[in-house]
């Protein structure tokens, strides 16, 4: 279906189900049935087989009409969970999971562990096969939006006798399962947007396994590629450039001479932001397949732009940068609806995480060097050793 036809279908949906007078769940279900939840997904999986760029046109029409926006409200489920289900789920799983996500179910990511660092393949959470499923024990950390999610994208080790990149299996864990404990992690912003999740004798039915047993690494890579692509999408939204421009204009009105000292940095930041938006827009025009290693470009660009941009914002604020008057020590959950106040001081502190979450900038540069530029890979002496024989700190 071409972009104009997709727009016509979106307008027809809005006419039949006006967001202002239609129940939210009813509207989202109708959107899914019309193939307008993910227009770049195949027909029958919430999509119409269109390209990713067309999805932005749909978002614009929906936003103008005041319709729910799952890309903001349940970003991880929408942008990471759903594409993984499309790539690896059975027909039954695709219908069950995609419809749930399309009608508002939220997912979080249960990958990172305290002892694994940046080496995701070194995770130690164990899943042991039982008659009706799997019994899981372990700990996950830095889990965004865990308390507002219904499912977790869980990677666990199912065969320690295999090398570390094998012997991993991927599950869509129901977070209401007995044995799941979620604890907040306090950030320097004052919030607790991230959580640690303890899994104690958690039983997962095999029907909630995504992909093959011991083949979870490739499934996890699908999730991570889409996560990095999601960060690229964020680069097209309002961000540090817009916040810095507002602060620059305010300073210029008060003191033109003081503002002139920041003119060059402001121009450089605007150019970097514009180039990143152009790159992300070009990547969105792919018509087949999911995101590849090139999505690491958007991820690195997003992280570096945020850090440089919000650092400029603090410099523009001058002494006022020391006054964090939107600090919220009791904010224990993430804001999936995007309701956090736009405060350059909070955003400066939060931007430190951008170079870590979704893969550290150093790891992203390794991926770009090896898989995009074709440079020699770093030596990996433990690649073929059984996981059970590896030394772990």
Whether residue 47 is predicted with pLDDT greater than 90 in this model: the reply is yes
The lowest-confidence range among 139-153, 161-175, 221-235, 326-340 is 326-340
Whether residue 364 is predicted with pLDDT greater than 90 in this model: the reply is no
The predicted structure's pLDDT at residue 287: 44
CATH topology of domain 3-106: Butyryl-Coa Dehydrogenase, subunit A; domain 1 (1.10.540)
Q: Let me know if 389 is a catalytic residue.
A: no
Instruction: Give the tens place of pLDDT for each residue, 53-64.
Output: 888 889 999 999
Instruction: Give the tens place of pLDDT for each residue, 263-310.
Output: 999 999 999 999 988 887 776 665 455 676 777 888 899 899 999 999
The predicted structure's pLDDT at residue 303: 92
Domain 108-214 superfamily per CATH: Butyryl-CoA Dehydrogenase, subunit A, domain 2 (2.40.110.10)
Query: 10 Å Cβ neighbour count for 200?
Result: 13
The predicted structure's pLDDT at residue 234: 66
Query: Torsion angle of alpha carbons 29, 35, 37, 38, nearest 10°?
Result: 150
**Domain residue ranges in the chain:** 3-106, 108-214, 220-372
The predicted structure's pLDDT at residue 193: 84
Question: Which residue in the list 113, 227, 294, 311 is annotated as catalytic?
Answer: 227
CATH class of the 220-372 domain in this structure: mainly alpha
Instruction: Give the tens place of pLDDT for each residue, 183-241.
Output: 999 888 888 888 999 999 999 999 999 999 999 999 999 999 888 878 766 665 668 99
């Amino acid at each position: 279906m071409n972009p104009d036809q997709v727009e016509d279908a979106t307008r027809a949906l809005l006419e039949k189900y006006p967001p202002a007078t239609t129940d939210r769940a009813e509207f989202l279900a109708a959107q899914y049935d019309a193939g307008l939840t993910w227009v770049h997904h195949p027909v029958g999986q919430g999509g119409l087989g269109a390209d990713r760029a067309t999805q932005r046109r749909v978002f614009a029409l929906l936003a103008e009409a005041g319709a729910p926006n799952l890309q903001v409200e349940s970003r991880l489920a929408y942008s990471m969970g759903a594409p993984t289900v499309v790539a690896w789920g059975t027909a039954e799983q695709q219908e069950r999971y995609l419809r749930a996500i399309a009608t508002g179910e939220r997912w979080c990511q249960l990958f990172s562990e305290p002892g694994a660092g940046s080496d995701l393949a070194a995770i130690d959470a164990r899943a042991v096969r039982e008659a009706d499923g799997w019994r899981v024990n372990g700990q996950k950390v830095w889990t965004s939006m865990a308390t507002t999610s219904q499912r977790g994208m869980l990677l666990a080790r199912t065969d320690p006798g295999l090398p570390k990149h094998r012997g991993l299996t991927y599950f869509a864990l129901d977070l209401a399962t007995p044995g799941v404990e979620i604890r907040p992690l306090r950030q320097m912003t004052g919030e607790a947007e991230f959580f640690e999740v303890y899994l104690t004798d958690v039983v997962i039915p095999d029907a909630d396994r995504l992909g093959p047993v011991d083949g979870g690494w490739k499934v996890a890579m699908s999730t991570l590629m889409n996560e990095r692509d999601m960060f690229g999408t964020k680069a097209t939204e309002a961000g540090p450039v817009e916040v810095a421009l507002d602060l620059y204009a305010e300073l210029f009105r008060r003191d033109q001479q003081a503002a002139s000292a920041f003119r060059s940095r402001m121009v450089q930041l605007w150019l970097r932001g514009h180039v990143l938006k152009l790159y992300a827009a070009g990547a969105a025009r792919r018509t087949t397949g999911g995101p590849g290693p090139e999505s690491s470009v958007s991820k690195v660009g997003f992280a570096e732009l945020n850090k440089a941009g919000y650092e400029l914002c603090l410099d523009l604020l001058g002494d006022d940068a020391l006054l964090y008057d939107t600090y919220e020590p009791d904010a224990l959950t993430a804001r999936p609806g995007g309701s956090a106040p736009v405060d350059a001081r909070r955003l400066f502190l939060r931007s430190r995480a951008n170079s870590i979450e979704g893969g550290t900038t150093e790891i992203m540069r390794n991926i770009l060097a090896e898989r995009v530029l074709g440079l020699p890979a770093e030596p990996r002496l433990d690649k073929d050793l059984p996981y059970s024989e590896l030394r772990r700190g």
